[in-house]
Amino acid sequence: MSYKKSGLALRRYMFWGVDAKLANSARPEAPKSKALALVGQLANSAPECGPEYVAKQAEAGAVSGAPARSLPQQQRPQHRRATFGFLPRSELLHRLYNATLAGGLFVLALPLIGFISLLVYLTQGRPIFYRGLRTGQRGKPFEILKFRTLDTATAAMLTRDRVLPNGSGLETPLGGFLRETRLDELPQLLNVLRGDMNICGPRPVRPEIANMHRSKIRNYDARFNVKPGLLGPAQAFMGHGTPKAVRARLNAAMCSNPVSYRREFEMILLVPSCVIAKAFSIFISKLLAIGRKPDVQHPVGNLAAETGVDVQYCCDGSGLYPVLRIDEAHILLSEGCVAGPGALIITLPNGVKRMARICSERKVLGATGQWVLRYKPASDYSHHILERYLLQRVVVPHHSHFLPWRVIRALRRKFGGIGRSPGLATLPEQRAKR
Give the confidence band of 428 by pLDDT, cuts at 50, 70, 90.
Answer: very low
CATH of domain 303-400: 2.40.10
In the chain, where the domains are located = 91-288, 303-400, 402-434
Mean pLDDT of 17-25: 48
Beta strand pairing status for 341-347 and 353-365? Answer: antiparallel
Q: What is the pLDDT of residue 81?
A: 56
pLDDT average, residue stretch 316-332: 85
- The pTM for the full model equals 0.75
pLDDT value, residue 30: 43
Of 16-25, 87-96, 175-184, 278-287, least confident by mean pLDDT is: 16-25
Check the CA dihedral 413-417-423-427 and report its sign.
positive
Q: Are 63 and 232 in contact (CB under 8 A)?
A: no
| pLDDT tens-place string over residues 275-307 | 988 888 888 877 877 766 655 566 777 888 888
d(CA 67, CA 60): 9
Q: What is the mean pLDDT of the chain?
A: 76
Phi/psi of residue 217, each to 5°? Answer: -110, 120
Q: What is the pLDDT of residue 102?
A: 96
What is the greatest pairwise CA distance in the chain? 68
Under the phi-then-psi rule, with left for phi > 0, alpha for psi from -120 to 50, and beta for the rest, what region is 113?
Answer: alpha
Average the pLDDT over each of 89-93, 340-344, 360-364, 416-420 and give the range with the smallest value: 416-420
Query: Rounded to whole angstroms, how far apart are CA atoms 318 and 339?
Result: 11
